[in-house]
Amino acid sequence: MSAVSKIIDHGTIFGTASCLIILAHGPDRLRDALIRIISKTPFDTRYHSSLKWILGLGFVWALNRRLNAWALNNWQLRSGPKWKWDEEVAVVTGGSNGIGALTVAGLAAKGIKVAVMDISSLPEELQKLSNVKYFKCNIAVKEEVDATADAIRTTFGHPSILLNNAGIADAHTILESTPQYLRKLFDVNVLSNFYTLQAFLPHMVQVNKGHVVTTASMASFVSCPGLVDYSATKAGVLALHEGLTSELKHRYKAPHVRTSSVHPIFVSTKLVDTFADSLGKSKAVVISPQTVANAIVKQVLSGQSGQVVLPGWMAAAQSARGWPNWMQELMRDGTKNDVLPAPST
């Protein structure tokens, strides 16, 4: 193959791939403009054939996205009650550090009043914000959650946004998990979500307006060696979240209470401190907490339900449970050294 032919072929691949990315992920205006251009522009047979397939795939992808969004918003065409951000109250568990603190800052910047439930004090930069208040609370204790919920309502009024963000993790094998740690892990990562829902959901149901955001994990879909107990909690949180969505629609008749789940891959926070070295050696994908916080804030401001996977190109992991067993095992095999270093031989 000549150098010119190679350039042409590489250009064909790059051009069609770029078009596919735009058609699949681009903004509506850009995607529509590309479709108009393609429909009026003559191409050689390679481009023409490739782009016909791309247009088909792009259409299917776009249709799938729209159907997903429609389904997650209870098959509603209308957006529901209007959100007035300077009148809304958000509760953020674990809002004093990491993703939570950055999310609090992002929500506060939009004028939302934010109540932080945490056992750790607020960082100084959040203490300076007049629309952010700290409420010391061990969310693993239902009585404390209920008492704190009363204090929040007295201070701000009824919350319309609940971000169940708090979570803990530690790297070890199943045989190294102690009963004490397992109890704490499930209390914080799973049971606390029940407690906060029981405290704040009734008013959202009453007025048929609200938004519950669950900070889950990619571990909701793929269990990782060395974090099996953590993965179990995140799978449980996803089951809770999906059940909540169904109950809001069918049992409580409150379809305008939105529900969103966020599933990041490893995030560079204190949560990964115990296995940061392993992540580096295995060259695992690690994203910044700001990336996750930005996605959460964006989802809240959309006023719509959704399922957010970060980074977005890993979205296929949502369907992992439906893959053939050999594919699932290969995917889990790929994480074998991410959390715990390879055993010495």
- The distance in angstroms from the start CA to the end CA of the chain is 47
| Reduced 3-state DSSP string for 6-26 | HHHHHHHHHHHHHHHHHHHHC
Q: CA–CA separation, 297 vs 162, rounded Å?
A: 12
Q: CA–CA separation, 232 vs 167, rounded Å?
A: 13
Q: Which member of 184, 234, 249, 281 is catalytic?
A: 234
Neighbours of 280 (CB within 10 A): 10
Q: Which of 215, 235, 185, 187 is nearest to 289 (CA)?
A: 215
Q: Which of 230, 232, 259, 231 is nearest to 243 (CA)?
A: 259
Q: Catalytic site residue 52?
A: no
CB 223 within 8 A of CB 177: no
Q: 343 preceded by cis ω (within 30°)?
A: no
Q: Which member of 230, 249, 252, 336 is catalytic?
A: 230
Q: Catalytic site residue 110?
A: no
Tokens of 217: 């994990």
Catalogue the active-site residues: 230, 234
